[in-house]
């Protein structure tokens, strides 16, 4: 049985934040969930996917976040408790649905989980999704700990049903990827089957209907604000006159500082867990008892602005600060010592930071950036493109996935990356604006996610670029989630269909389509040259399973390679041109780590001395 389906209320388990959230949803009777995977939220979806195999939960990996929200929104409007899980930037994709869904509302509880990533551990930006609460008018809940995340998810479904509105559940990486001891509650059996009651004057958002629905949304916001002013997620601690307003993980750092410095009689904390609409009355009452207020929040000054508005409306003039010089930054994530230092300096509390060790004589450590795996077929494609475009001035828009890493030297394949799917559309802009050759990259999952529309646009507007679809048959970067191109039968998940990328591309009207096997370098180079010669939109599909995925399926058949040291003349073309991590230097000699090498043979095809050969089994 799945660990998160353990039926022992009161039992304590060590759970990852994302597991605690998935468990909380089970305790809330979640019936229907949809997601597009994205770090740091991925394990929530993964657990739902696994749980769905052995329970009444319906779960799907949808093609993108907008689709997943729409799928879940319909289910919720049939009265079943639904959830939609995504990373922060996913909500940008789903925003179109979100904004008007807020007008329409829901019948069954709908919780939209968005995982922000301060410091951008694995994201292209660190946007603060609390502003989506303001933008859409929907309530926002944000937990401060793993245990609280589990409890708050349950509440989120109740709140959603009380308000008949979706609820945004906002986490940050340090909630998703922290682990703590969590006490289990009771699992509630989901009400899996719903029904849709037609009500076009509340569901079909033509202008005349929406004019009424916006009124309802504003009324709901008022009700939500009343709840925020009186709910257990917004609470006070301490009895001093130095006020601290905080949320999420910042609360943990503030509380530890208060305990360690023994400040409970000096400091009073307002912890905001229900942060949109802001608990205005509570904030105003809090401000009236304070002489000075510090707002501690990672990201944007969302609460700071709200607190200042409350002060202005109440005619209060006490100092309220958060972001600023010598205070907190809008950049990156916070940590306990940083919070302790800012707090003590802002409140003029004596504090001597502990002695640090001297790092001045530590030598520079060679970088260890994330890199494409040994044997990754993306490397082979990038190398082939480099060969095929030698002496040419080519722009390479790329996209979001493992292959984004191709921008690093020595491959240096990737000139412009902004968001999922943008490779296909930016190709058009670069080509038109410069008149130069454009060859772009996109992965299979990203192509289905949002690359298709840019390709259609390219064909319709008669643009001139070559797109390489790196079809590694899985959503690799986020941990091997299925996408519409995956062979689900091979994974023993019957009941799915498979969409063939080549047929899709042909159906979109692309006239020049070719398929390459990336490990065959000379053929790949030839095919790429032909595509570049074609005037118009050409597509190359590079087909090779992700090596990690193939390994997990026990399909990696290649034997590892070695270097014949008698033949090797130490040109080092192998290392310097493809930088496969299976290579290492033993003194002056180039060697191949046999446990890492997958036998892709790409280096053997590059070596001018033909010194790289399969390991002979004696």
Size of the site for other proteins (CB under 8 A): 64
Of 366, 391, 435, 587, the one binding other proteins (CB under 8 A) is 366
Contact 48, 33 (CB under 8 A): yes
How many angstroms separate the Cα of 90 from the Cα of each of 109, 128, 172, 517?
20, 12, 14, 32
Contact 72, 84 (CB under 8 A): yes
Report how far residue 267's alpha carbon sits from residue 386's, in angstroms, rounded to the nearest whole number: 61
Answer yes or no whether residue 507 interacts with other proteins by CB under 8 A. no
Contact 576, 529 (CB under 8 A): no
Residue nearer to other proteins on the CB measure, 373 or 486: 373
Residue nearer to other proteins on the CB measure, 410 or 507: 410
Residue nearer to other proteins on the CB measure, 17 or 458: 17
Report how far residue 556's alpha carbon sits from residue 565's, in angstroms, rounded to the nearest whole number: 26
Sequence-distant (≥ 6) Cβ neighbours of residue 129 within 8 angstroms: 88, 91, 114, 116, 168, 170
**Number of other residues whose CB lies within 10 A of the CB of residue 110:** 30
Tell which residue, 448, 468, 549, has the closest CA to residue 515: 468
Report how far residue 461's alpha carbon sits from residue 536's, in angstroms, rounded to the nearest whole number: 10
Answer yes or no whether residue 235 interacts with other proteins by CB under 8 A. no
Of 7, 262, 348, 355, the one binding other proteins (CB under 8 A) is 355
Closest contact distance (angstroms) between CB of 49 and other proteins is 17
Answer yes or no whether residue 364 interacts with other proteins by CB under 8 A. yes
Which DSSP string corresponds to 557-587? -PPPEEE-TTT-----HHHHHH--TTEEEET
Closest contact distance (angstroms) between CB of 340 and other proteins is 8
Closest contact distance (angstroms) between CB of 431 and other proteins is 31
The distance from CA 138 to its chain's CA centroid, rounded to whole angstroms, is: 21
Q: Name the one range near other proteins by CB under 8 A: 108-116, 301-309, 364-372, 513-521.
A: 364-372
Answer yes or no whether residue 14 interacts with other proteins by CB under 8 A. yes
Token pair of 469, please? 């679809």
Q: Which residue has the tokens 């601290």?
A: 244
Closest contact distance (angstroms) between CB of 385 and other proteins is 19
Q: Name the one range near other proteins by CB under 8 A: 272-280, 450-458, 494-502, 580-588.
A: 580-588
Buried b (16+ CB within 10 A) or exposed e, 505-524: beebebeebbebebbbbeeb
Answer yes or no whether residue 174 interacts with other proteins by CB under 8 A. yes
Residue nearer to other proteins on the CB measure, 75 or 263: 263
Answer yes or no whether residue 433 interacts with other proteins by CB under 8 A. no
Q: Name the one range near other proteins by CB under 8 A: 46-54, 130-138, 297-305, 584-592.
A: 584-592
Q: Name the one range near other proteins by CB under 8 A: 64-72, 178-186, 279-287, 292-300.
A: 178-186
Residue nearer to other proteins on the CB measure, 146 or 395: 146
Answer yes or no whether residue 405 interacts with other proteins by CB under 8 A. yes
Answer yes or no whether residue 561 interacts with other proteins by CB under 8 A. no
Report how far residue 427's alpha carbon sits from residue 532's, in angstroms, rounded to the nearest whole number: 13
Of 219, 584, 594, 615, the one binding other proteins (CB under 8 A) is 584
DSSP state letter for 373: P
Closest contact distance (angstroms) between CB of 372 and other proteins is 7
Q: Which residues 94-123 are close enough to bind other proteins by CB under 8 A? A: 121-122
Residue nearer to other proteins on the CB measure, 249 or 541: 249
Which DSSP string corresponds to 550-565? HHHTT---PPPEEE-T
Strands ordered across the beta sheet of 394-395: 394-395, 437-443, 465-471, 537-543, 512-516
Binding-residue pattern over the window 244 to 273 for other proteins, x denoting contact by CB under 8 A? -----x-xxx-xx--x--------------
Of 136, 173, 275, 446, the one binding other proteins (CB under 8 A) is 173
Token pair of 91, please? 């909500």
Report how far residue 407's alpha carbon sits from residue 404's, in angstroms, rounded to the nearest whole number: 6
Closest contact distance (angstroms) between CB of 122 and other proteins is 4
Q: Which residues 377-396 are close enough to bind other proteins by CB under 8 A? A: none
Binding-residue pattern over the window 530 to 549 for other proteins, x denoting contact by CB under 8 A? ------------------x-
Q: Name the one range near other proteins by CB under 8 A: 99-107, 355-363, 421-429, 529-537.
A: 355-363
Q: Name the one range near other proteins by CB under 8 A: 75-83, 155-163, 198-206, 363-371.
A: 363-371
Of 206, 365, 433, 617, the one binding other proteins (CB under 8 A) is 365
Answer yes or no whether residue 372 interacts with other proteins by CB under 8 A. yes
Exposed, middle or buried by CB within 10 Å (0-12, 13-18, 19+), for 376? buried
**If you count them, how many residues does the chain have?**
618
Which DSSP string corresponds to 246-302? E-HHHHHHHHHHHHHTT-TTTEEEEEESEEES--HHHHHHHHHT-SEEEEE-SSSSH
Of 350, 363, 587, 608, the one binding other proteins (CB under 8 A) is 363
Answer yes or no whether residue 550 interacts with other proteins by CB under 8 A. no
Q: Name the one range near other proteins by CB under 8 A: 2-10, 352-360, 416-424, 489-497.
A: 352-360
Tell which residue, 80, 49, 101, 96, has the closest CA to residue 157: 80
Q: Name the one range near other proteins by CB under 8 A: 198-206, 237-245, 354-362, 413-421.
A: 354-362
Binding-residue pattern over the window 126 to 145 for other proteins, x denoting contact by CB under 8 A? ------------------xx
Which DSSP string corresponds to 113-175? EEEE-TT-SSSS----TTHHHHHHT--EE--SSHHHHHHHHHHHHHHHHHHTS-EEEEEEHHH
Answer yes or no whether residue 328 interacts with other proteins by CB under 8 A. no
Answer yes or no whether residue 6 interacts with other proteins by CB under 8 A. no
Residue nearer to other proteins on the CB measure, 150 or 255: 255
DSSP state letter for 535: S
Answer yes or no whether residue 362 interacts with other proteins by CB under 8 A. yes
DSSP state letter for 243: E
**Number of other residues whose CB lies within 10 A of the CB of residue 577:** 18
Answer yes or no whether residue 581 interacts with other proteins by CB under 8 A. yes
Answer yes or no whether residue 594 interacts with other proteins by CB under 8 A. no
Report residue 72: phi and psi, to 5°. -70, -35
Q: Contact residues for other proteins (CB under 8 A)?
A: 12-14, 39-40, 42-43, 121-122, 144-146, 173-174, 177-181, 249, 251-253, 255-256, 259, 335-338, 354-359, 361-373, 402, 405, 410, 477-478, 548, 575-576, 579-581, 583-585, 590
């Amino acid at each position: 049985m799945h660990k998160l389906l353990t039926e022992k209320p009161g039992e304590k388990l060590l759970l990852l934040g994302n597991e605690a959230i998935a468990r909380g949803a089970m305790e809330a009777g979640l019936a229907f969930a949809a997601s597009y995977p994205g770090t740091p939220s991925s394990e929530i979806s993964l657990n739902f996917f696994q749980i769905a195999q052995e329970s009444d939960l319906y779960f799907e990996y949808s093609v993108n976040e907008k689709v997943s929200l729409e799928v879940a929104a319909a289910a919720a409007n049939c009265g079943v408790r639904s959830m939609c899980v995504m990373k922060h930037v996913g909500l940008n994709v789903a925003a179109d649905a979100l904004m008007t869904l807020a007008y329409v509302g829901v019948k069954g509880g709908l919780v939209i989980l968005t995982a922000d990533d301060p410091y951008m551990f694995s994201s292209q930006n660190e946007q603060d999704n609390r502003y989506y609460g303001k933008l859409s008018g929907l309530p926002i809940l944000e937990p401060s700990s793993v245990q609280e995340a589990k409890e708050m998810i349950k509440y989120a479904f109740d709140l959603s049903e009380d308000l008949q509105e979706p609820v945004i559940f906002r986490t940050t990486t340090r909630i998703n990827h922290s682990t703590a001891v969590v006490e289990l509650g009771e699992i509630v059996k989901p009400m899996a089957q719903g029904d849709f009651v037609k009500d076009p004057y509340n569901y079909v958002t033509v202008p005349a209907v929406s004019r009424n629905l916006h009124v309802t949304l504003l009324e709901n916001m008022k009700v939500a604000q009343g709840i925020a002013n009186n709910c257990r997620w917004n609470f006070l601690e301490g009895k001093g006159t130095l006020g601290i307003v905080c949320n999420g993980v910042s609360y943990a750092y503030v509380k530890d500082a208060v305990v360690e410095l023994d400040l409970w009689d000096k400091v009073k904390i307002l912890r905001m867990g229900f942060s949109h609409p802001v608990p205005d009355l509570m904030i105003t009452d809090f401000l009236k008892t304070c002489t000075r207020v510090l707002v501690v929040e990672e990201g944007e000054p969302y609460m700071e602005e709200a607190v200042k508005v409350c002060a202005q409306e109440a005619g209060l003039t006490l100092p309220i600060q958060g972001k600023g010089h010598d205070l907190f930054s809008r950049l990156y994530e916070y940590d306990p010592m940083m919070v302790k230092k800012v707090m003590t300096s802002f409140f003029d509390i004596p504090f001597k930071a502990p002695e640090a060790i001297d790092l001045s004589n530590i030598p520079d450590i060679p970088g260890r950036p994330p890199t494409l795996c040994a044997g990754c077929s993306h490397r082979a494609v990038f190398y082939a493109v480099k060969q095929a475009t030698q002496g040419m001035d080519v722009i390479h828009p790329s996209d979001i996935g493992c292959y984004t890493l191709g921008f690093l030297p020595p491959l240096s394949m990737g000139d412009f990356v902004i968001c999922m799917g943008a490779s296909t559309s930016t190709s058009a802009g670069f080509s038109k604006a410069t008149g130069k050759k454009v060859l772009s990259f996109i992965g299979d999952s990203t192509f289905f996610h949002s690359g298709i529309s840019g390709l259609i646009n390219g064909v319709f507007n008669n643009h001139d670029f070559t797109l390489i679809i790196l079809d590694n048959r899985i959503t690799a970067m986020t941990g091997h989630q299925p996408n519409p191109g995956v062979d689900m039968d091979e994974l023993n998940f019957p009941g799915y269909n498979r969409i063939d990328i080549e047929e899709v591309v042909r159906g979109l009207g692309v006239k020049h389509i070719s398929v390459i096997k990336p490990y065959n370098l000379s053929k790949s180079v030839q095919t790429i040259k032909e595509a570049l010669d074609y005037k118009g939109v050409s597509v190359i599909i590079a087909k090779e399973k992700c090596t990690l995925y193939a390994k997990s399926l026990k399909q990696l058949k290649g034997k590892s390679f070695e270097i014949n040291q008698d033949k090797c003349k130490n040109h080092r073309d192998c290392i310097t041109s493809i930088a496969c991590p299976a290579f290492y230097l033993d003194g002056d000699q180039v060697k191949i780590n046999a446990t890492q090498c997958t036998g892709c043979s790409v280096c053997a095809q590059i070596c001018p001395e033909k010194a790289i050969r399969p390991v002979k089994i004696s």
